[in-house]
Chain A
Amino acid sequence: MNPKRRRLLAAGAVSAIAGASFAACVLAQTPEQVIHITARKFAFLPGEITLKQGVPVVLEFVTADVVMGFSAPDFKARADIIPGQVARVRLVPQQIGSFDFVCDIFCGDGHEGMSGKIHVVA
Chain B
Amino acid sequence: MHEIDRRDFLKLAGLGGAVFASGLAGCSAMGSKAAQEDFYFVQLSDTHWGFNGPVVNPDAKGTLPKAVAAVNSLDRQPDFIVFTGDLTHTTDDPQERRRRLAEFKQIVGALKNPNVRFMPGEHDASLDRGQAWSEFFGETHYSFDHKGVHFVTVDNVSDPAARIGEAQLAWLKADLDRQDKDARIVVFTHRPLFDLYPQWDWATRDGASAVELLMPYRNVTVFYGHIHQEHHHMTGHIAHHSAKSLIFPLPAPGSVPKREPIRWNPAEPYRGLGFREVDAELQQAQYSITEFPIKGA
Contacts and interface: CB of A to CB of B under 8 A. Distances in A.
A100 B90 contact: no
Interface string B103-118: 0000000000000000
Interface residues of A, number: 21
Interface string A82-122: 00000000000000000111111111110111010000000
Contact of A102 (B90, B160, B200): B200
B146 interface: no
A21 B219 CA distance: 62
Interface in A59-86: 67, 69, 71, 73-74, 80
Nearest to B260: A113
Interface in B122-144: 122, 126-127
A106 B199 contact: no
Which of B195, B198, B259 gathers most chain A CB within 10 Å? B198
Interface residues of B, number: 20
Given A73-B198, A73-B199, A100-B199, A105 B258 contact: no
Interface in A32-76: 67, 69, 71, 73-74
Interface in B141-187: 157, 160-162
Contact of A105 (B92, B161, B260): B161
Looking at chain A's contact residues, the main secondary structure is mixed
B92 A102 contact: no
B160 A115 contact: no
Contact of B258 (A104, A106, A115): A115
Which of B122, B199, B260 gathers most chain A CB within 10 Å? B199
Interface in B45-101: 89-92
Contacts of B37: none
B161 A104 contact: yes
Given A112-B259, A113-B260, A115-B259, A107 B160 contact: yes
Nearest to B157: A106
A106 B160 contact: yes
Interface string A1-23: 00000000000000000000000
Contacts of B160: 67, 105-107
Nearest to A107: B160
B197 to A, nearest CB: 9
B52 to A, nearest CB: 11
Nearest to A106: B126
A111 B157 CA distance: 14
A102 B201 contact: yes
Interface of A: 67, 69, 71, 73-74, 80, 99-109, 111-113, 115
18 contacts: A73-B195, A73-B199, A74-B199, A80-B161, A100-B199, A104-B161, A106-B90, A106-B122, A106-B157, A106-B160, A106-B161, A106-B162, A108-B92, A109-B92, A111-B90, A112-B259, A113-B260, A115-B258
Given A73-B195, A101-B199, A102-B199, 18 more contacts: A69-B161, A74-B199, A100-B199, A102-B201, A103-B201, A104-B201, A105-B162, A106-B90, A106-B157, A106-B160, A106-B161, A106-B162, A107-B160, A108-B127, A109-B89, A113-B260, A115-B200, A115-B258
